[in-house]
Structure 1
Amino acid sequence: MSAWPRNLPFAAFMGLVLVTGATAAQESFRVELGGEGDTLGDMRPVFLPFESRPLPAISPAEVARRYQRLFQSSDEPEVRIDALNRLGNIRDRSGEDVGFSPAEEEQAYRQAIDSYEAILERGAYAGRLDELLYQMAKAHALTGQPEASIQRLEQLVGLYPGSPLVSEARFRLAEHAFAAGDYARAETGYRQLLESSQAGELGTKARYMLGWSQFKQGSAAWNRAAGTFVTVLDEFLPDSASLSTVAESNVDTIDDTFRVLALMASRKQGPESLVTWLEGAGHPAWEHLLFDRLADYYAVRGETLASVETHEAFFDWAPEHPSEPAFRLQLVEVWRAAGDPDQARRARAEFVAQYRPLEAYSALGAEHQARWQEFSRELADHAYARGSRFLKEEQDELARDAFRTAAGFYEGLAERVNHAGEVLRLAGDARLQAGQYPLALTDFRQAAYEQTGFAEAADAGWAGIVLLRDGVDGRKTDEAFAPGLSDLTGEADRFLSRFPGDPRGISLMADLAARWLSVGDQTLALDYSARVIGSSGASSDERFAAWQVTARIRQQNGEYGLAERAWNQALKLAESEGVSARVSGQTEELRQQLATVVYRQGEQAAAAGRVDEAVRHFERVAPILPGSEIAIKARYDAANTLLKAAAWGPAVANLEEFRKAFPNHGLAEGISEKLVLAWTESGDYTRAASELLQASANQADPWSYRLRAAELLDRAGNLVERNQLYRDYLAANPSPGDGQQHQQLQTLRYQLMESTEDADYWREALVAAELDSPWHSDASLEWAARASLVLGARAAAAFTRIGLDHPLEQSLARKQEALETARQRFQDAEALGGEQVRSESLFRRAELYRGLANDLMASSVPAELNEMEAMQYQMLLEEEAYPFEEKAIALHRQNHQRITSSGYDPWIGRSLSILAELHPGRYERNLKWLSWNMEVGDGA
C-alpha cells in the first residue's frame, strides 16, 4: 500500500489510557476539546493509517539506497516510476526515514510526472494502467496539483472499476470532497466505498469519515452521524477485553469518536440523546466511556448540573454496571470542582449508602473500598463536628440528628476495617450525644471487648460504665434504656476482668460498694469494699470510701467492734496527707460515727449486764468527740448503768459530776430524780429529801417535790421539818380535784394532828374538810369522826366548866352555847363515823343534857329572895331542868336500844349504868341481855 497518507494530520486520543476490567475508574479518561477548532465547522477528524505488508528481511535503508540510485541513474520512465513507488512503500512499511528527503522527494515526483506523461503519450505501458493513473494522482498530489490528482483518480474509478485500487481512489475522492467542504458528496463517496465489496481495510476509516461527513452537515444529520460513530466504536471496541488492548495507532481515532458523540449530545438533549443512540446498540462494552465523556464535557464547561444529570442517566441506563462505583466517585469530584462542598458531601454520602450492604461493598475493588472507607470517615467526622457546633449553640434537636448521622457512618465504617476500635468508640460517643443510649452501649462494648490491638479499649469500656452509671442515677434514661444496679455491676465485672490493671477499676469498685450498701445488699457491698482495701494501687480516697462502706455495714449489723475498727481506719485516712478536700472535710462526721459505735458497745454491754465493760465503753466516747452530745449522753448513761446495777455510791458520784459539768443540759433535769433514787435506796433519806427540796425551787409546781421530800423526812424521823412542809402546803389552801387528792390532804392533817401541839386546830381542819368534801374514804371518815368526838369531848369539858352564876340568864346562855357546840361536834362525828361512833356520840350527848339538868338544879338561889320566893325559884329551876334530864334519859335509852341492831359495846354499857342510876328499879338488874327488834323514835 502506498505511503501517501502518512503526512495527514492526527488528533490526540483520550487524555489518559483506557483502564482495564469491570472496575475501571472513570478518572482514567478525560474530555479535552478545543484543540481542534473553535467551532463545529472547524472541527476535523483524525485519520487511520494504512496497514502495510511485511518487510523483507534486509535493511530498509540499504534497499532504499539501491532504489534511489536506480531512480537517479535510469533514463527509462517505467524504471524510474517503479523505483520511486518502491521507495515510498519501503518508507511507509518500515516507519524509518529512508530514501529521499522531503525536498528531494518533491523534486523526484516532479521528474516522475514527466515520465508519466511520456508513457501516456506513447499509449503503451508494460504495467497496469490503473496503477499508472493511481501513481500519477499521487504525484500530482505531492507536487501541489490537487485538481490534476482528482482528475486521475476519477479516471481510475471510471476506466477501471474492478481495479483493486478503486477502493483507495474512492476514499481519496471522498476525502477531497470532505476537504472542500462538500460534506454531502463526501458522505456519498464514503457510503459507496462501504457498500462496495472493495472497502477492505479502508472500511473502518471510511466509516469513521462517513460519520464526520454527516456531522459536518449540521444537527439535522446528527442522528445519522451518531449511528455511524456507534458502529465505528463497536468495530474498535467489540467487547470488554478490547478496552484494555487498544492499539496505540487507534487511540486518537477512538478518542475523537467519543469526543464528537459527546459534543452532539450536549448540543441536543444531553444524556437523553445518548440513550436514544444507544438503544439500538443494546449495551456495548464502551457505553460507560460515552456517558463519562459527556459528563466530563459538561464539567469542563462548568455545567455542573448537566454533568450530574449525565451520571444519573447512566445509573438509570445501566444499573449495576461495573463502572458505577467510578461514576459515583466522579460525581464527588464534579461537585468539588464546582466549589459546592455540601453537594460533594452529599455525593459521598450516596456513594457510602450505595455500597453499605456487605454484598455491594465486597464487589468493589480495593481502590474503591479504600475510597468508601475514606468517605465514611470524612462524613462521620463532619457530622460529629456539626453536632458539636449545634450543641454549643443549644440547638439540641439539630445536634441529636447530626450525632445520629455521624454514628451511622462510624458504625458502617467499623464493619469494613480491620482495626475498628477507635471508630466504634467514636460511634458510641455519637450515639451517646444523640441520646441513643442502648446503641451507644453496644458500640462501646464492641470497641472495648471485641477489638484486638485497640490501645484505647479501656477508655471505651469505661465509657460504657459511665453510661450505665448515668442510667442508674437517672441522668440518662428513656423507654429503651433504664438499667439497674445489677446491669452496672455486670458491666463493671466485665471491665475489671478485661482491664485488671486499669486504675479506674478501683474507684469503680468503691462506687459499687457504696451503691450496693444503699440498696441493702451487704454481701456485694462488703465484697467490693474488701477488694478495694486489698488493692495495692488504691488511693487514700478510694480506701477511705471502702472503709466507710465496711464500717456502715458492720454498724448496721450491730457488729460495733468491727465497725469501730473500720471507722478508725477511715478517720486515720481522712487525717492523713494527700487526701482530697472532700475526704479531709469529713473528719468531724467520722469522729461522730466512731463515737456512736463505741457508745453502742456500751449499750450492748449494759444490756448484757456487763456493768464495768459498759462503763468503760461509755467513758471512751468523750476522748473521741469531746463536748459532743453523744459524749455527754455516754457520760450520763455510764451513771445510769451504775444506778441500775445498784452501785449507789459510784452512781451518785457520776451523777453529781455530770450535773456539775453540764448544769444546763437537758439530761441534767433528770439527775435529781436519780440522785433521790440512789440516796433513797441507800437509806440516806435526809439527802434525798434535801435534793427534792432543792429541785422544787425550779419547778412550776414545787409542792409535788416538797411533799415527796416530806415523806422522806418522815422516813428519816425528822418530823419537825416534815410538819413544817405540811403546814406550808396546807396554808396555801390547796383545793382537791378528786378523791385521791382529798385523801392526801386529810392524811397530812391527820399526821399533823397526831404529831403537833396544835392538834385541835388540825382536828377542826380535818373535820371541816371531810364534811365539805364530796369524796370520802374509810380512813378519812374514821379520822374525822374521831377528831370530831375529841373536839366534842373538849367542848363538853368546856361546857362542864361553865358555872351557872347570877345573873343566871347570862351564864345559862353561855352554858347552852357551849352545850350546842359540843352537841354539834358529836352529831358531826355521827355523820362521819356512822355506827362506829354512834354509841359514844349518843352517850356524850345524853351526858351533856344530864349535866345541864344537874347544873340547873345545883345552881344557887339568889340571896335577895325570901323563903317563898326561894322555893318558887327552886321549883322553877326544877321545871327548867326536867326537860334536859328527860332528854338525857331518852338518849341513853336510844343508846340502850342499839343493842338489838349493833350489839353491846362499852358506851352502851355506860348508858345502862347511867339509866340504872336514874331508874334503879328498872335498869339495876343482873340480866343476861338478849337482842330483840324494837323501834325507837327519839330524835334528841
Structure 2
Amino acid sequence: MPRNLSTLIFSKLNATKFWLLLVCCLSLLLSACNEKESSRQTLQNIDNAEQSKSRAQKKNIATSEGDIRDAYINYLKHASKSDLSRADALNRLAAIEFKLSEELLQSETAEAAQEKLANEKLNRTIELLETSIKDYPKAKHNDVTLYQLAKAYDQQGEYDQTHETLKLLAKGYPKSRYYLEAQFRLAEYAFSAKKYTLAEDKYTEIIIAKNNAVFYEKSLYKRGWSRFKQEFYIEAADDFVQAINFNDFQQYEQLSASQQSLFDEYFRAMGLSFSYLGGVEPLNLYFQQTEHVNNLYYIYSSLSDTFLKQQRYNDSVGTLNSYISQFPDSEFSAQASLKVVDIWKKSGFVEQRKKAFEQFYSNYQPTSSYWLNKKGRYKKRYEMISLALKNHILIETATYHKEYQKSNKLADFTRAERWYKNYLAHFSAYSRQDNIHFLFASLYLQHNMQELAYKHYKLAGFDEQTVTNKAAAYQVITLADKLLTDATNPESKAIWLNRLIEASTLYAQQYPTDEQAIKVIARASDAAYNNKRFDDTIHLAELVISNKSTKLINTINMVKAHAYFQTKEYLAAESSYFALMKTQELSAKDKSSATEGLALAIFYQGKSAVEQKEIPLAIEHYARISQLTPKSETAASGLFDAIALSIQSEQWLPAIDYIKRFRSLYPQHKNSNDIAKKLSVAYLNSKQDIAAAKELEKLSSHENSKEYKMASLLKAADLYQQNNDISSAVRSLKKYIKTYPQPFMPYFEAMYQLTQLYAQSNELNKSLFWHRRILSTDKKTPSSAKNERTNFIASNAAIALARQESRGFSTVKLVRPLKKNLKRKKQKMQASVNYYARASSYGVAETATEATYAIATIYNDFSQALLTSEVPKHLSDDEKEQYLFLLEDQAFPFEEKAIEFYEVNLAYTQDDIYDQWIKKSHQALQRLFPIRYKREPKVENFINVLH
C-alpha cells in the first residue's frame, strides 16, 4: 500500500546523513564554479580560515564551526545582493545551520531547550535557502538549493511545502541528478492522495527513464498498486510479475529477513490481484500466456493465503490442488499438498484434514515414487517435507491413541497402531526424541499385548547399557515381572527372568537413590532367588545404597543373605544375617529367620572347617553359634558338635566348658543324657574323677539304658572310692544294690565293695551287715550263677563274720560264773568255727588257708582257755586237783583238733600253695609238737566235717 513520503524514502537518521553530505558537496561545488572572485576575497578568506582551523584545532571542532558560522553571518550582513558570492554564503550558512540542527536532534541527551534550539536552526536554514532562491532565481545550481529546501521542509513537517518545492525542481530541472527522486516523491504524494492515475503516470515516467536503477523496482511495484487501485488487475499483475522476475529471488529459506519481507509483499500483491480477477482459473490462464515467471508456486500459495484470510477454504485448497495437478513433479508440489492439510487443520475441518493427509502421505512419504530421483536435487525441500510429515504423523498417532483411550474400540486401536508403525518405518531415528516407543508401548499395554508393549518400552527406556527414559525403563521391569509370573514353561521363564534382572540392574545402577529403585531391586532379587539365580540375587541386592532400614530393604537384605548361604559364601551370609538381627524394624518372623540363618551360616562354616580338617576352627564356629543365637534351633546342634569334636580331639577342658554351657542353655534337650556321658568322659580324661563320678551318678537317674545306668553307678562308686570319697561311693553302691538285684554278679560285687568301704571307714557293724547280706544272697543263688569271684566274695564275707565271732570268742573269759561264761564261749567258738568252715567250703585258697588256720587256733585257744580257766573257790585241794585233771581231759580233744587243722593247712603245699596261714600253721605245730609228726593227723575226717 502507499506510504508517506518521509517514511518511504528517508528515515530521520538517513535523511540527516544525506543532507550533511549534500551541504558539503554543495559548498564545494559553488566555490569551485564561482567565475569571479570577490575583490575583497572575503568568502575565500572564510573558506581558507575554515580549512586552517580544521587542521589546527581538531580537538575543538564545535568552536571552529561556531567561528566559521559567525564569519558567514558577518559576511552576509555586509554583502550586497549583487555579490554573487552571497548566494554561496547563504547556502553554506544554511548547511551549517542544518547540520547543527541535526546534531542537536540526534543527541541522546537532548532536552526541551535543545529541541527548541534545533527547530530554530532548522527554521533559519529554511529562511536562508528561501532567500537564496528568491534573491538568485537564475542561479546555476538552484536544483541543489531546491532539493535542500525540500528536505528542510520535510524535516520541519511542512509536507505541502515539500511537495511544491519538488514540483519546482522537477519542472525546472529535468536533467538534474535529483529529478528522478523528485518525480518518485511526487508519485508517492499522488498515490497517498489517491490520485492513482497521476501516480501511475509518474511511476511510468521513472520506469522508462534512463539511469533509473535506484527507483526502477519500487516504481514498478508502486505502479502495479496504482493500477490495482484503478481495478486494472491484469496490468497490475504484469507489474508485480516484472518486479518478482527483476529480483530473481532465491529459495525463500535462503533469503535474508529484509528480502523475505519484500518477497512476501510482492507475492501477496499477486495473490490479491488474482483474487479480484476470480481466482485460480484466471491465474492458470494468465500463466499459460506468460513466458517467464519465477517462483510460480508462491503465486499460487499467495492466492491460496488470500482466500484463506477471506475464509474461502475451498477456494484456498482448490488453488493449491490446481498447482499440484498442473505441476505434479514440481519441487513444490509436496509443499502445496502439505499446505492443503494445514489449511483444513487450521480451519477445523477434521474429516477433510484426514483425507488430505492420507493423500499427502500416500504421494509424498519418504519412500514414495515422487522422491525417487528428487531427494538429492531437493534436499532442503525433502528435509522440510519429511519434518512436517513426521509432525503430522505424530498428530495422527496422538489423535487416534486418545480416541482409543476413551473408547477402547478396536478400530481406534488399529488406526493408532498403523500410524505408529508408519512413523517408525520412516522416522525411527527420531523415535526417542518424540517418545514414540513409549507411547506405542502404552497403546499395546492398554490393548493387553504385553510382549509388544515390553518391546517398545525397552526401545524407549534403554540404549544398550544406558537408561534413556526412566519411566519407560520402570515399565520394562514391571512387564518383565508380569510376563515372568505368567510364563508356563521353563524356556519362557528363563527368558523373562533374564530380562527382568538385566533391566532392574541397569535401572538401579543409574538411579541408585530413586525411590522406585528399592522396589525394583526387591522384586528382581526375589525372582532371581526363587529361580535359584543366587549370584544374580546377590548382585542385585548389593546395588542398594540406602542406609535406611525399611521393610523393603530388610526384605532385600534377607534374600541376599539367603543367596550367600545358597552359594556357600557362609561368612558373607553370616555378616548379612547378623546385620539384619541388629535391625530394630525387623518383624518377629523375619528376626527369627535371620537368627536361624545366622546360626546355619556359622554351622556350615564349622562343617567346612571339618571337611578341611581344621578341627580347632570348626570347634570355634560350632561353639559360637550358642553365643550369638542361643535360642536358634541350630545352636544346640552346633554346640553338641563342638563338644563331640573337642572330645574327639581330646580337648577335655574346652569340652567341659561347652558341656556346661549346653546344660545351662538347653536343660531339656533330647541329647542331655548323651551330654552327661560326654561330660563324664571329659572329666575322667581331665583327671576330675569326682566330677566324673557325680555325672555318672546323675546319669543313673536319667539315662534310658538300664545297662548304662548300672555301669554309671558302679563306675561312679569306683571313682569315689579311688578318690577316697567313701560316703559318695557307699551312696552309689547302695543305689545300685537297691535298684539292680539282677544280674547277680555286679550286684554281688557291689555288696562286697560296700563291706570294704565300711571297713575302710571303720564302720564295722555296717560292713558285717553287708557280709551277712552277701552270705544270705549266696545261699539263695543257684550254683550255676556263681563263679570264682562270687565264691571269693562269699568266702571273704564268711571270713569277716568269722573274725567278728572269733573276736567275741576271745573276749569271753572262763571265769565265774564259769558255767555261763563257758556256754557263751562255746557258742562264740561254734559260731566262729561255722563261719570259718563256710569260708573254707568255697574252695578259695586264700580264705581256705586262713579259715583252716583260724579254726585250729580257735580250738587251741579253747583248749588253753579251759586249762587256764578260773578254779571254783569252794573246792578243796583234792577237789581242785581232781578238777584240774578233768579240765585237762576236756581240753585235750580241742588241742588235738587244733593240731589236725594245722596239719590240714600244711596239706595245701601239695597244691603249690604256701601262704602266711600255712606258714603260721607250721609254726603252731612246731610249738605244739617239738618232735615232728610222731603220728599221722586225721585230716580227712575234719575236712569232711567242715564241708
What is the TM-score normalised by the length of structure 2?
0.45
TM-score by length of 1: 0.45
Q: Which has the higher helix share?
A: 2
